[in-house]
């Protein structure tokens, strides 16, 4: 597995962990809304960052897209 794919997978794992943290705060009876908001903010930031990183990698030629169905 090359470095760009490893970085993308690690960021995706961080997004899922952040989403799980927010869900845990939401489901706890005395959950802290500030912690939930912080976790969701991290999730959105990581998602936008991953999207931008993929775009930059594609434009730089590091990531090569492939067509489905060929």
How far apart CA 69 and CA 9 sit, in angstroms, is 24
The domain limits of the chain are 1-11+36-61
Query: Coil, strand, or helix at residue 67?
Result: coil
Q: Tell me, what's the pLDDT at 69?
A: 59
User: To 5 degrees, how large is the angle CA 48–CA 53–CA 56?
Assistant: 125
How crowded is residue 36: how many other Cβ atoms within 10 Å of its Cβ?
Answer: 18
Sign of the four-CA dihedral 11, 14, 19, 22: negative
What is the model's pTM?
Answer: 0.82
pLDDT digits (tens), the chain, 70 positions: 688 889 999 999 999 999 999 999 889 888 888 999 999 999 999 999 999 999 999 999 888 887 665 5
Half-sphere exposure of 40 (CA within 13 A, CB side): 11
């Amino acid at each position: 597995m090359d470095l760009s794919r490893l970085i993308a997978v690690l960021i995706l794992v961080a997004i899922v962990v952040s989403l799980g943290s927010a869900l845990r705060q939401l489901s706890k009876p005395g959950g802290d809304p500030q912690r939930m908001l912080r976790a969701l903010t991290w999730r959105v930031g990581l998602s936008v960052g991953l999207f931008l990183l993929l775009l930059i990698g594609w434009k730089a030629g590091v990531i090569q897209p492939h067509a489905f169905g060929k």
